[in-house]
Amino acid sequence: MILIRYHNKKFFTTGAEPSILYLIGAILFQVPMYNRADPKFLGLPFFYWFQGLWLFIATVMYVIAVLLLSKDDEQEEVQK
């Protein structure tokens, strides 16, 4: 929770802080970090399998983020 909601600033009109979503963007931006051939996995260069692996990690993180956001959505509903 602390990792995900590291600040209280409201960026978006949704009233939620989906920082977890920016985290994934921030990692994918670091192209030089994963732009390498080794170590290989199942014959795939690192550049390929790293990004493929992130599809799974992203899904898990997105679902966590959405469940947190859903709570905010519900609170919003209640406030109305």
Partner 1 sequence: MTNMNVVLGVFLSLFTIFAILGFGASRWRKGNLNNLSEWALAGRRLGPYLAWFLVGGDLYTAYTFIAVPSAEYAKGSIYLFATPYVMTTFAIAIVAMASLWKMSRKNNYITGVDFVRDRFKSRWLAMLIAATGIIAELPYIALQIVGMKAVLEIIFVQYFSNYLFVSEIALLISFIVLSAFTFWSGLRGAALTAVMKDAIILISVVVVVIAVPLSIHGGFSTAFAKAKAESHMFTGVETLLPKLTNAYISLFILSALTLYFYPHAINGVLSAKNVRTVRLSSALLPMYGVGLFLLTLFGVLIFAVPDALNLVRTTGNGALVVPALLIYTMPPWFVGFALLGIFIGGLVPAAVMAISQSNLLVRNIIKEFKKDLKPETETRIVKWATVVFKFLALGFVFALGSSDTYAISLQLLGGVFIAQTLPAILLGLYQKNLNKNGLLAGWFVGMIAGIYLMLQANHFAVLKTALGNTPFGLLYIAASSLAINLFVVYVWTYVARIVGHRQLPTGVKAGE
Q: Is 9 in the site for partner 1 (CB under 8 A)?
A: no
Q: What is the amino acid identity at position 42?
A: L
What residues contact 69, with CB distance under 8 A and at least 6 apart?
A: 14, 16, 18
Burial class (CB in 10 A: 0-12, 13-18, 19+), 17: buried
Using CB under 8 A, which of 1, 2, 3, 42 touches partner 1?
42
Q: Which is closer to partner 1, CB of 2 or CB of 17? A: 17
The contact set with partner 1 (CB under 8 A) reads 12-14, 18, 21-22, 24-25, 28-29, 31-32, 35-37, 40, 42-48, 51-52, 54-56, 58-59, 62-63, 65-66, 69-70, 73
